Structure 1
Amino acid sequence: MRVVIAMMKHETNTFSPVPTPIERFARSTPMPYEGDAAYKAFKGTGSGTGGFIDLAEEAGAEIVIPIAANAWPSGPVADDAFDYMAERIVKAVEAGCDALFLDLHGAMVTDSR
């Protein structure tokens, strides 16, 4: 069984002058976590993504984490940032999966969407 686990979180404040490029979705790295780095960062944390990882492991699944992105509340998300995150999730799903876990939060607005 192949399970895709992805996180994409942002609470957009349309009145905020603070831009939200892709780099704001990374907490301690230059870019959002992907793959093994995401697995190591979230496994065993008790977070939504961590819980998804634990459940998938219990089921003996192959785990694919195309992106784990979380930004503090700020202004609209840059279109290229949204595209970067969404494309990784879509490509992972298109490659085939038996289950998809999405750890989502917020009300995301982009520069044009």
Structure 2
Amino acid sequence: MPDKQEEAKRQEGDKDSNEGIFMIKKYLGYYKIIVGVVLAAIMLFYVVTSTNEIRTMNEGLKKRIDMSIAISNDKFDVVQGRFNNIKGIFEGRFDNIEDNIKGNKKQELNLEI
């Protein structure tokens, strides 16, 4: 009889240990799922933030490029204005010289008459 009772106790112990192992495996499965979901959420967050950073960097670069183009256009306008001023000065001087020459010739003609 004691052998049968010991055998029955052993089987009950095996059932308890098997149930414990089953519970551990069950909860480990849940933990794996939870860890996987958390890792996926972290990776998704990283991807979203990095794309936002890239987008803001692109917008910043576009603004800087537009600013540099505007600055270069302003500088070109200034240079072109200075060139036109210099051109006008020289044209005016040459016009004055031509007028002076014509005026001198008229005076010479008037003196000869």
- TM above 0.5: no
Which has a greater percent of helix? 2
Q: Tell me which structure has the larger Cα radius of gyration.
A: 2
Task: Tell me the TM-score normalized by structure 1.
Answer: 0.19
Which protein, 1 or 2, shows the higher relative CO under an 8 Å CA cutoff with sep ≥ 6? 1
Task: Tell me the TM-score normalized by structure 2.
Answer: 0.19
Which has a greater percent of strand? 1
